[in-house]
Structure 1
Amino acid sequence: MNSKNNTAVQKLTTPLSLLTLALSTVLSGSVLAQQATDSAEETSKIEKITVTATKRAQVIYEVPVAISAFSGDALAEQGITDLTDVGKFVPNLNVTGFSAGHTSSANPFIRGIGLQDHLITTDPGVSVYVDGVYLGRQVGQNWNLNNIERIEVLRGPQGTLYGRNSIGGAINIITKQPDQTTLRKVTLQGGSRGRVKGDVFVNAGLTDELSFNVNAGYNKRDGLGKFINVPDAKYDVGETEDTYGRLSVKFAPNKDFSLVLTADANDGKGGLRPYTTLIDEVPTGAYYTGERFGAPLPSGPLRNTDVAANPYDNATGTKEVTEVSNQADGISLTADWNFSDNFSTRAIISRRSSEYKAGLDDDGTIYALDHYPERGDADQTSAELQLNGYFGDFDFVSGVYWFNEEGRNRQGEDSRFNGGANLLQLDQDATSRAVFVNVGYNLTDDLRIAGGVRYNKDKKSAVANVGIGPFAAEDDWSQVSFDLSANYRLENGMNLYGSIQSGYQSGQFPARPYCLFGNPECFVASDNITAVNYEVGLKGQITSDISMSIALFNTEYDDLPYQVSTTAAGGFNTTNLVVKQRSRGIEWESTVYVTDGFKLHTSLGYIDVDVDEQDGVTPVAPLTPELTASISPSYEYVMDNGSSITTRIDYSYRGEMYGEPSSDPGRLTLIDSRELVNMDISYVPADADWTVALYGQNIFDKRYDNARLNTGDYILRIMSNDASEFGVRYSLKF
C-alpha cells in the first residue's frame, strides 16, 4: 500500500472505529428485540416521522425508498441552516457550491449524480422541491431552513412521481402549514465572524375558517478575506447578507377542503466566494507564454506569485466581480379536496422568478486577463393536478404535470478572455409535460406491492451567441419511466423492501459553446439520460430504543453527460462528455437511545462508481466521495427543578473525491477528505417558553476545497466558506 493510501486509512481509523461501535450496539439490540415478549406495548422514545415522499402520508419506515428525514425544529441544534449543511449528514449525499462564485448556490450530488454548473442550458440531476414546487435553478437554491416542518432526502432515481431531473434523487422542503394554533416565536443569534441573525415566526387563526403564518428574517456573516487590489469593494471575500420572508394563508371551511396561498421572497448579496488559482507555469502554458494586461504595465508572463498569497484573499483588479447578489420570489396555490371517503384531489399551481449577479476572475490577479462578470434570470410556471384514492386493498396516486421555464445568461459587459473582449449570451425556453400513475395493493396485512409509470414529453429552444452571431437550435425528447416495489413487514415490526426505479432527464445544450469558433455545428443537445436503480433495504424500529435503516443499491445510467471545461478560441469552453455509469453501494442510518437521556445517531454511505472508458481515458464521477459518515451523540440532563441541559456533538466525514470527471493525478483535481464537527449546548428552564444555546460550527476550523476545475492553463480551487463560528442562540415562544 502506498503512502497516500496509508494516510487515508489513518484518517478513517477514528470515524470507522466509532461507527463500528455504533453498529455493534444496534446489532446487539436486534438480539434483544427477538427476546422481547411484547414489544408492541413498549413506549417508543423515537419519533416516527411521517413523510410524503410518495405523494401520500406514510411513516418513514413504510416507504420503499432510501430516505432520510430531518425534523424542522431540531435542525438548528444540529448546525443545519441550509441545504449545504444537510449534505454533511446524509449518506452518499454531498452538497457543493460553485456557480460563478456565488455564495447562495447549492449543488447536490446523490450517489454520484449532480451538476456543478448553473447556466440556463443545464439541468441538475437532483431535484429540489418546496411544498411540491420544483426549483429549476441552483443559484439562490441554498434555502434558509428556519421554521420549516421537515426535510426529506430521497436517494436514487425518482422518475415516476418526481419526473425529470431526479435521476440522482430528490430533496423535499416542507414548510409549516397554517392552522388554528396561536404561536409566536422569535429567534436571535449572534456570534463570531460577525454573525447577526434574527427570525420571527407567527401562526394564528383569524376566524374558524381562516388561518395564517408568517416567517421573516435577516442573516449576516462576515467574510474570510479581502479584495487586496480593490480597496473600495463593498463586501469582503465570502461575506453574506440575506433578507427573507414567507407568508401563508389557509382557508379551510370544512375538514374536507382547504386552500393554501403562499408567497415567499429573498434578497441576498455579498462578496465573491473564496477561491484561488494555480497557474500552469510550464513554457507551453497559455499564461506563461502570454503577457500581463492592465495596471501595472505589462511586464512578462503571468506567474503564481501574481495570485494572492493568502488563498482566502483575492487579488482581482476587477471590481465588477467582487460582489454577488440574488433575488427570488414565488407564489403558489395549493388546493386539497376530499370529495368522498375514498377519493381526493390536489392541485398545485406556482409562479417563480429569480435573478442573480456573479462572475469569476479566473486568473485571480490584478491583470485584465480572464474575468467574466455575469448576470442571469429565470421565470418558471408549473401546475400539477392529482387524483388519489382507495379501492379496498388498492390505493393509487395519479396526476398530470406541466412546467415552463424561460431564462437567460449574459456575459460581455466588462468581460475579458486572454485580455480581449468576451461574449456569452444564452437564452432558453423549456417546456415539460407529464402524466403519471402509481398503484399499490395489499396482498396481505404485511405485504404490499406497488407499481407506477410516467410519460414525459420535453421541448427546449435555445439561442447561443459567443461573438460570431447567434446560433439557434431546438430539440424534443420523450420517455416512459417506471417503478416496481414490494414492502413486507416482519414479525418484529421491521420492514423489508425491494424496488426497481427508473429516472429520466432530457438532453442538454452545451453550456459555453465556444466550440462554435471551429465547429458551427456543435450547438446540439445531448440524448435522453436514463437511469435504472435496483435496491433492497431493511428499516424500522428494532426495539423502542433502537431504529435503523440499511439499503443496498445498484444503479445504471445511460447517456450521462459529464461537463468538461477547457480554454478555447474565444472563451471558456464547456462540452458534454457522454458516458455510461454504474454505481453500487450501501447506506446505513440508525438512532439508539443508550439511556433515557443519551441518544446516538449514525450514518454511513459507501459507493463504488464505474465509468466506461472514453477515447482511451477512464473518467470518474465528480464530487462523489467513496465514503460518507456522520456520528451525532446527544445527552439531555434533567435537573431536580425540571430544567434541562442538552449537549450535542455532530461529526461529519466526507472522503476524498475528484473535482471534475478526470482521475489523472497530473490534473491536480483530487480533493482531500474532510472531517467537520459542530457542537450545541442548550438550556431550557422549567415551565418557561425560552431556550438559550451556545453553539459552535466547524469548531476545529477545517478549511477545505469545495470544488476543483482544471482548464489546461490553470486550476481553479473553489474553497469552503464555512470556517469556524461560535456564538449564542436565543429562542422565545409567546
Structure 2
Amino acid sequence: MSTQPAFSSVTTKLSLIAISLGALFHQAAFAQQEDETNQSKIEIIEVTATKRTQAIYEVPVAISAFSGDALAEQGITDLTDVGKFVPNLNVTGFSAGHTSSANPFIRGIGLQDHLITTDPGVSVYVDGVYLGRQVGQNWNLNNIARIEVLRGPQGTLYGRNSIGGAINIITKQPDEVAVTKATATVGTRGRLKGDIFINREVSDNLAFNVNAGYNERDGLGKFINLPNAKYDVGETQEAYGRLSVKYTPQDDLSFTLTADANDGKGGLRPYTTLIDEVPTGAYFTGERFGQPTPVGPLRNTDVAANIYDNATGTLDVTDVSNAANGVSLTIDLGLSDTLATKAIISHRTSDYKAGLDDDATIFALDHYPETGDADQTSAELQLNGYIGEVDFVSGIYYFTEEGNNRQGSNSRFNGGANLLALDQRSVSRAVFVNVGYMLLDNLRVAGGVRFNRDKKDVTANVGIGPFSASDSWSQLSYDLSANYTLENGLNIYTSVQSGYQSGQFPARPYCLFGDPTCLVASENITAVNYEIGLKGQVNSNFAMGIAIFNTEFDDLPYQVSTTSEGGFSTTNLVVSQTSRGIEWEGTWFVTDAFKLHGALGYIDVDVEQLGAVKPVAPLTPDTTAALGATYEFNITGGAVVSARLDYSYRDEMFGEPSRDSGRFTRIASRELVNMDLRYKPAQGDWSVSLYAQNLFDERYDNARLNTGDYVLRILSNDAREVGVRYTVQF
C-alpha cells in the first residue's frame, strides 16, 4: 500500500510550519532600523558540541544551550526542567517509582526503563564523562557553566546510545578568579535548599573549586494504610558535593582531578493504578491464568481516592534511595601551536532502592521492591588540532560496566513468591576521527567515522534457575556536513549523521517460564539523520535558528510490558521508525531592557506496522513550545529589578508504544508557567528573588503502562512551588 498521500500530508504540514517559523519575529526583528555600528546585544555562546570550542551558530547540529548563571531564574533546577524548554525534547521520570530518575526523549527516541539490560537512546555527559544509568541522573544543576542539548544522532563523536541526541553538562572549571557564592532557598511544599560554591587560586599553577549543598521538599500525598512510613509520597531529601582541583605545571599542560557524590532518599513517586472495569483483566475478574487471585476482584475504589495518596500495605516500597559517586582525571597537553592531546579517565558507582506496589491497594498481590547498582569505568584519549586549513578531532574510547538488579525478599506476583535477578557486564570500545576543511573562505565541509565494538554478558533468574547469554555487536558510524556563512553572517548547514546502539537483552524475561530460549538480545540499532538548518544573528537585536530533519531508525526495540505467569514481563518489540520534523529557536531584544526567547518544535513519527499492531512512539508529543520574557529596569538609587516569565507546552502523547484506543495510555497535554522577580541593590553583592515554579499548579502524568491486567499511571512530582531565593557572592 502506498504511503505517498500520508507523506505528502506530513510534508505539507512541515512546509507550512517552516514558513510560519521563518516569519516568526521577522517583522519585529526588522522593525528597528538600526545603525550597523550598534553593538550586538546577543550573547554568542561558545559550545564544545564537536569536542572543540565553536560559536553555537557555527556548529552544523541542531543545538540548544543554557547559561549556568541563568538556570535558576528560568526555573531550571534539574534535567527534568531542561526538558520543558527545548524543542522536541521531553524529560520524564519513572524508573520503579524513583523520584531522582531522568529519562530524556529527543525526537521520538528515549528509554522508559532503567534496568541494567536496557540502554538509553539519549546520552548524558558531565565534563566528557558518560552517565549510563537513569536513576540518580536528575542532577541538581549547581556549579554549572553551560548545558548543551544536541538533537539528532551523534554517533561519530559521542558513540553508542546517542541515536536520539546527547546532553552535555559542563561545570565551572577552577581558575584564578576568587569567588564565593552562597544560595539559600525557602519555599512552599517544605522547600529548603542551601548551596555554596567556592573557587580559589592556591598558587600560580594550582586552583580548586568546591560545590556542596542540601535540598529537601515535602511530598504530595500520604501512605494512608502505613502511618509508620518514614516519608510521604513524593518527598525528597538530597545532599551533594563536587570538588575539582586543577594543576597547571606549565602553560601547555594541565591536570584536572574531580570527585563528586550525592546521597538521596525520600518517598515513592506519586502514581496510581487504573483498573479496566470490563471483564477482561485479572484485577476485575479476580482470576488470572485460570486460577482465582488471592484477593478476589478489585475495583478502582480499592486504590486511594486521592491519586497522590497511596494505599499500599507493603512498607518496603514506600521509600526510595540513591547514592552515586565518581572520580575523573582530565589531562590536557599541548604538543605544538596546532596539536593537542586530551585524556579523560573516569570511574563511577551508583546504587538505588526503589520498587512499586503495582496493585496500589492494601492487598498483597503484585509487589516489587527492588535494588540495583552499577560500576562504570571509562577512558578516552583524543588527538586534536589543525594542519593548514584542515581541523580534526580523533580519539580512542573504552567503557565497561558491571551492574545488577534484584527484587527484594517481599517481592510477590499474584500473591505468591516472585524473583527477578539480573546481572550484566558490558564492554564497549571505539575509535573515531572527524575532519573539517575550509573549502572556501565561507564554506566549511566536514566528515567523520567511528568504529564501535560492544559485548554484553547477562545472567537472569526469574525463579526457575539462572539462565545466561552473551552477544556482541560492531558498527561503523559516520557523518557528513557542510556549513556556509552568508554575506549577512547567517550560517546555513546541511548534514547526514548516523548513530548506533548495541542490542539489548529483555529487561524482565519472565518469558523464560514458557520459552527457556527467550533470553536473546536485539540486533544493532542504527539511525541515519538528514538535516538542513539556518542559524545566526539576523541583526544586533535578533538571533534565530531553524532545522528541518528526517531520521530513519532500524531494529529499534520498544519496551512492552505485560503480566505473565511469573510476573511483570518486559520484552522488546523491534520496529523500524521514521521521525521527521522541524525546530525553531529565537531571541529578540525588543529594547535594551526587554528580551523574548521562543522555541517551537513539531515532529511526526511513523512506526512500521507489525501484523495487526500499529505501534506509536512513546512519550513523544507532536508539538513542543516555550516562550520566555525578561524585563530589567533600574529603580531609585541604581538598584536593578528583573522580572522573568517562562511558559512551556507539551502536546498530548502516548505513555507507551501502544495506542490502546487512547483509553488508558494517552497522556493529556500540559502547560507550565514559571516566574522569577529579582532585586539586586546598586551597591551590594547580594540579590533576592521571589520565584514560582508551575505557577498554576498544573498536574500531569509522566508515563502510562498498560500491562493488560491494569494500567500504571505515573504522576509528576511537579506541583506548584512559591518561595524566596537569596544569593550572595563575594
Instruction: Compute the TM-score of the two structures, normalised by the length of structure 1.
Output: 0.95
Aligned residue for 1:345? 341
- AA partner of residue 541 (structure 1): Q
Residues 591-602 of structure 1 aligned to structure 2 (within 5 Å): 591-602=587-598
3-state secondary structure, aligned to 1:68: strand
Aligned residue for 2:716? 720
CA–CA separation in structure 1 for the residues paired with 2:22 and 2:388: 40
Q: Closer, same or farther in 2 for the Cα pair 1:610/1:298, shift >3 Å? A: closer
Aligned residue for 1:66? 62
Offset of 1:27 from its aligned partner? Answer: 1.3
* Residues 1:359 and 2:358 are matched in the alignment: no
Offset of 1:255 from its aligned partner? Answer: 2.1
- AA partner of residue 420 (structure 2): L
- AA partner of residue 112 (structure 2): Q
Offset of 1:131 from its aligned partner? Answer: 0.3
Residue by residue over 1:380-439, the C-alpha shift from the partner in whole angstroms, topping out at 9 and shown as x without a partner, is 000000000101100000000000000000014100101010000000000000000000
Aligned residue for 1:402? 398
Q: Closer, same or farther in 2 for the Cα pair 1:612/1:291, shift >3 Å? A: closer
* Residues 1:322 and 2:318 are matched in the alignment: yes
Q: Closer, same or farther in 2 for the Cα pair 1:676/1:666, shift >3 Å? A: closer
- AA partner of residue 269 (structure 2): R
Aligned residue for 2:378? 382
CA–CA separation in structure 2 for the residues paired with 1:418 and 1:175: 48
Residue by residue over 1:514-542, the C-alpha shift from the partner in whole angstroms, topping out at 9 and shown as x without a partner, is 00000111000000000000000000000
Q: Closer, same or farther in 2 for the Cα pair 1:44/1:515, shift >3 Å? A: same
Residue by residue over 1:577-610, the C-alpha shift from the partner in whole angstroms, topping out at 9 and shown as x without a partner, is 1001000000000000001100000000000000
Offset of 1:22 from its aligned partner? Answer: 8.9
Report if the CA contact (8 A) 1:22-1:602 is conserved: no
Aligned residue for 2:218? 222
Aligned residue for 2:106? 110
Residue by residue over 1:284-335, the C-alpha shift from the partner in whole angstroms, topping out at 9 and shown as x without a partner, is 421233379xxxx976422211100000000000000000000000000000
Offset of 1:23 from its aligned partner? Answer: 6.7
Report if the CA contact (8 A) 2:154-2:498 is conserved: yes
CA–CA separation in structure 2 for the residues paired with 1:261 and 1:245: 14
3-state secondary structure, aligned to 1:551: strand
Stretches of structure 2 that go unaligned for 5 or more consecutive residues are 1-17
Offset of 1:147 from its aligned partner? Answer: 1.8
Q: Closer, same or farther in 2 for the Cα pair 1:284/1:552, shift >3 Å? A: closer
Q: Closer, same or farther in 2 for the Cα pair 1:23/1:631, shift >3 Å? A: farther
Residue by residue over 1:214-257, the C-alpha shift from the partner in whole angstroms, topping out at 9 and shown as x without a partner, is 00000000000000011100000000000000000000122211
Runs of 4+ in 1 over 6 A off after TM superposition: 19-23
CA–CA separation in structure 2 for the residues paired with 1:603 and 1:409: 39
* Residues 1:264 and 2:260 are matched in the alignment: yes
Q: Closer, same or farther in 2 for the Cα pair 1:59/1:569, shift >3 Å? A: same
3-state secondary structure, aligned to 1:439: strand
Residues 240-639 of structure 1 aligned to structure 2 (within 5 Å): 240-290=236-286, 300-639=296-635
CA–CA separation in structure 2 for the residues paired with 1:30 and 1:186: 38
Report if the CA contact (8 A) 2:174-2:208 is conserved: yes
CA–CA separation in structure 2 for the residues paired with 1:563 and 1:146: 33
CA–CA separation in structure 1 for the residues paired with 2:62 and 2:294: 57
Offset of 1:459 from its aligned partner? Answer: 0.2
* Residues 1:171 and 2:167 are matched in the alignment: yes
Offset of 1:30 from its aligned partner? Answer: 5.8
Residue by residue over 1:633-662, the C-alpha shift from the partner in whole angstroms, topping out at 9 and shown as x without a partner, is 110011242211000000000000000001
Q: Closer, same or farther in 2 for the Cα pair 1:442/1:29, shift >3 Å? A: farther
3-state secondary structure, aligned to 1:383: strand
Q: Closer, same or farther in 2 for the Cα pair 1:123/1:106, shift >3 Å? A: same
Overall identity of the aligned pairs, in %: 74
- AA partner of residue 252 (structure 1): T
Report if the CA contact (8 A) 1:412-1:422 is conserved: no
Q: Match for 2:235 among 227, 235, 239?
A: 239
Aligned residue for 2:4? none
Q: Match for 1:186 among 182, 203, 221?
A: 182
Aligned residue for 2:26? 27
CA–CA separation in structure 1 for the residues paired with 2:519 and 2:147: 38
Query: How many residues align structurally?
Result: 710
* Residues 1:673 and 2:672 are matched in the alignment: no
Aligned residue for 2:202? 206
3-state secondary structure, aligned to 2:311: coil
Q: Closer, same or farther in 2 for the Cα pair 1:465/1:630, shift >3 Å? A: same
Aligned residue for 1:4? none
Report if the CA contact (8 A) 2:295-2:365 is conserved: no
CA–CA separation in structure 2 for the residues paired with 1:188 and 1:354: 28
Report if the CA contact (8 A) 1:344-1:388 is conserved: yes
3-state secondary structure, aligned to 1:641: helix
CA–CA separation in structure 1 for the residues paired with 2:395 and 2:247: 23
Report if the CA contact (8 A) 1:291-1:302 is conserved: no
Aligned residue for 2:15? none
Report if the CA contact (8 A) 2:286-2:295 is conserved: no
CA–CA separation in structure 2 for the residues paired with 1:407 and 1:661: 27
User: Quick check: 640-649 or 440-449, which moved more?
Assistant: 640-649
Report if the CA contact (8 A) 2:175-2:201 is conserved: yes
Residues 669-708 of structure 1 aligned to structure 2 (within 5 Å): 669-708=665-704
3-state secondary structure, aligned to 2:508: coil
CA–CA separation in structure 1 for the residues paired with 2:439 and 2:31: 30
Offset of 1:279 from its aligned partner? Answer: 1.4
3-state secondary structure, aligned to 1:480: strand
CA–CA separation in structure 2 for the residues paired with 1:20 and 1:581: 26
- AA partner of residue 273 (structure 1): R
CA–CA separation in structure 1 for the residues paired with 2:212 and 2:723: 21
CA–CA separation in structure 2 for the residues paired with 1:109 and 1:24: 28
Aligned residue for 1:10? none
Offset of 1:666 from its aligned partner? Answer: 5.6
CA–CA separation in structure 2 for the residues paired with 1:203 and 1:705: 40
- AA partner of residue 350 (structure 1): S
CA–CA separation in structure 1 for the residues paired with 2:662 and 2:545: 40
CA–CA separation in structure 2 for the residues paired with 1:31 and 1:218: 47
Offset of 1:274 from its aligned partner? Answer: 0.2
3-state secondary structure, aligned to 1:206: strand
Offset of 1:25 from its aligned partner? Answer: 5.8
Report if the CA contact (8 A) 2:233-2:308 is conserved: yes
CA–CA separation in structure 2 for the residues paired with 1:160 and 1:733: 41
Q: Closer, same or farther in 2 for the Cα pair 1:374/1:524, shift >3 Å? A: same
CA–CA separation in structure 2 for the residues paired with 1:303 and 1:470: 36
